[in-house]
Amino acid sequence: QVPADNITVNYWAPDSSCRRVQDRAVLAGVRSKYGLRSEQPYVIGFGGADPRKNTHGIIDAWSRVSAAVRGTYVLVLVGAEEPALTEFRYRVRDRGLEGSCLVYGFADEADMSALLSGATALCYPSLSEGFGLPVLDAFACETAVLAADTTSLPEIAGDAALLVPPDEPAAIAEGLSRLLTDEAVRQSLIDRGRRRLSAFSWTQTAERAAAVFE
């Protein structure tokens, strides 16, 4: 029951250190660190013990992607800590995904730009997000994004991400398949993401905050 004109939504912005990495040696180093072969195509996802991160749903969706796609790409999930880490690895094994889905704990912040830049797509179908910074980070790294069509994510992503219902593994799988097999769709999203970034900067964040206090 708060009047709308009493509310200011103050958007965040991508990390200033997050940018497209093109150095092949750096990209190869990150691939090696996270158990990927040299030049191995992969999808990056941010998981976690919190159910809203939908890690179970991402793994289940990956099991529904065609064998041909899973034979080409590897799904790399980072951000899960014990005991959830072991639980997710059991789920990967139970779904017959060993070798095509790798689950790790927290990734080094210094690896983020290279991890995102080297990925063919970011898979981010969270059940709930307050903002969704990884979406903007992926835009900055020129990586195509699949995100949930709920809570804050559509507002942040705009038309620059492929949006899917996060509670439907089949829909996530279909979206991933489309992104990974259609280069034109990926490039269109990358171009839109690059343009979308102009709406988000820390200078604008500071100016909006200052304007509220003034």
Q: How many residues does the chain have?
A: 214
Query: 159: number of CA atoms within 13 Å, CB side?
Result: 5
Structure tokens at 102: 């790798």
Give the predicted TM-score (pTM) of the model: 0.94
CA 113 – CA 184 distance, rounded (Å): 23
Segment (H or E) for 121: strand 121-124
Smallest CA-to-CA distance from 18 within 146, 107, 129, 123 is with: 107
Confidence at residue 77, expressed as pLDDT on a 0 to 100 scale: 97
Confidence at residue 119, expressed as pLDDT on a 0 to 100 scale: 98
C-alpha distances in angstroms, 186 versus 20, 41, 146, 192, 211?
A: 16, 14, 10, 10, 38
> What phi-psi label fits residue 96: left (phi over 0), alpha (psi between -120 and 50 degrees) or beta?
left
Point out the residues of the chain with pLDDT beneath 70.
none
Residue-by-residue DSSP string for 74-103:
EEEEE---TTHHHHHHHHHHHTT-TTTEEE
If DSSP codes are grouped into helix, strand and coil, which group holds residue 145?
strand
